[in-house]
Copies of this chain bind each other. A is one copy, B any other.
Amino acid sequence: MPQNPPEPLHAIVPAGGAGTRLWPLSRRGAPKFLLDLTGSGRTLLQQTHDRLRALTEGGGVVVVTGSAHAPAVLDQLPDVGEENLLAEPSPRDSMAAIALAAAVVRRRHGDVVVGSFAADHVIADQAAFERAVREAVTVARAGYVVTIGIEADHPSTAFGYVRSGDPVALADGTPAPTARHVLGFTEKPDAATAAEYLATGEYRWNAGMFVVRADVLLDHLRSQRPVLHAGIDEIADAWDTPARKAVLDRVWPTLEKIAIDHAIAEPVAAEGGVAVVPAAMGWDDVGDFASLAGLVPAGDDGVRVLGERGQVLADDAEGALVVPGTGRTIAVLGVPGLVVVDTPDALLITTREHAQRVKGVVESLGEARDHLR
């Protein structure tokens, strides 16, 4: 029996979010996704695009980003081209961004499967990622909203969780290889709750990836958020016409700001319409410096340097993360687990333990230091 060719996938990459917890490395003007945070020579956005190349053969990649970042995105991803770069006049959260991309793709390509993948995450195991997405595409064909659930290797309090139930069936009635119904999503839990989640074996990390037929996604949006759907519809109708700018400028600012998790994933899961494909793929959202430190290899001295190792003199600083960004020599002495981020106009010093609190520092910058955000 000849194998069917893989279902074509149209990837949607929402490239937004400043990555505030990675300040002062990540800035409003140079957000996380535009940075090479792993020392690989490719930015997170480029790595995301690289990762989708094989999966989107026969389909394509659409990037949605803020107007201010559109030139940088095009510069980093020349293959995407202006046609597949959707520039938002202002941030309206993930539902509007993903729905607009899905609606534009649908008008261009029909009821294809779309998959939304954040522009600023890392995935170590490409083969596992591809396997999971390919299954998700098949399950999506059967009408589900499909998310990828990351096998949790520790009771993280930094991620939301997705709870799985019974197996799902594919369009042809056969059972999916690994996909299960989603019973629900949870916000970031406290440590005790996270440990309970792990003990049940039913919970996985919500990596914010959604794979779904474009028509299914937009139908859910119509049911759940009819006003938002109407706005997206109007913009998508105008997108590939001369009216795009006028309609976008008029309608976009009125759109509801809501995350896809709240607008669709949670309510549709409650109706039994969401599936999860579990996968272990070395995923990380690079959410803060503790997370980033885990992605930068340690030297013989246990110090992790993101940048020129020759600029760092370390003694008794095991587990420290140093990001030299000014050409200066940085000497760290007797400070294990320290985080040092050296940039031309701002210097951050904290510890991996306090990494989640960096957001508060940025919030306290105040007007006098607004230019540092």
Residues of A within 8 A of B (CB): 24, 310, 313, 315-316, 328-335, 338, 340, 342-351, 353-354, 357-358, 360-361, 364-365, 368-369, 372
Contact partners of A342 in chain B: CB under 8 A: 347
The chain B residue with its CB closest to the CB of A364 is B313
Q: Min CB distance, A246 to chain B, in Å?
A: 42
* A315-B360, A331-B361 known, 19 other contacts, Cβ within 8 Å: A310-B368, A313-B361, A313-B364, A328-B343, A328-B344, A328-B346, A328-B347, A329-B347, A330-B346, A332-B349, A333-B354, A333-B358, A333-B360, A333-B361, A334-B350, A334-B354, A335-B338, A340-B347, A342-B347
**Chain A binding surface, main DSSP class:** mixed
If the complex has contacts A313-B364, A360-B315, are A349 and B354 also in contact, measured as CB distance less than 8 A? Answer: no
Contact partners of A315 in chain B: CB under 8 A: 357, 360-361, 364
Identify A332's interface contact among B345, B350, B368, CB under 8 A.
B350
Q: Is the CB of B350 within 8 A of A347?
A: no
Q: Min CB distance, A145 to chain B, in Å?
A: 39
Contact partners of A369 in chain B: CB under 8 A: 313, 329
Please state the number of chain copies in the assembly: 2
Contact partners of A348 in chain B: CB under 8 A: 331, 333
Q: Is the CB of A345 within 8 A of B328?
A: yes
22 contacts between A and B (CB under 8 A): A313-B364, A313-B369, A315-B357, A315-B360, A315-B361, A315-B364, A328-B347, A329-B347, A329-B369, A330-B347, A330-B349, A332-B349, A332-B350, A333-B348, A333-B349, A333-B354, A333-B358, A334-B350, A334-B357, A338-B349, A342-B347, A347-B347
Q: Min CB distance, A185 to chain B, in Å?
A: 30
Contact partners of A345 in chain B: CB under 8 A: 328-329
Q: Min CB distance, A347 to chain B, in Å?
A: 5
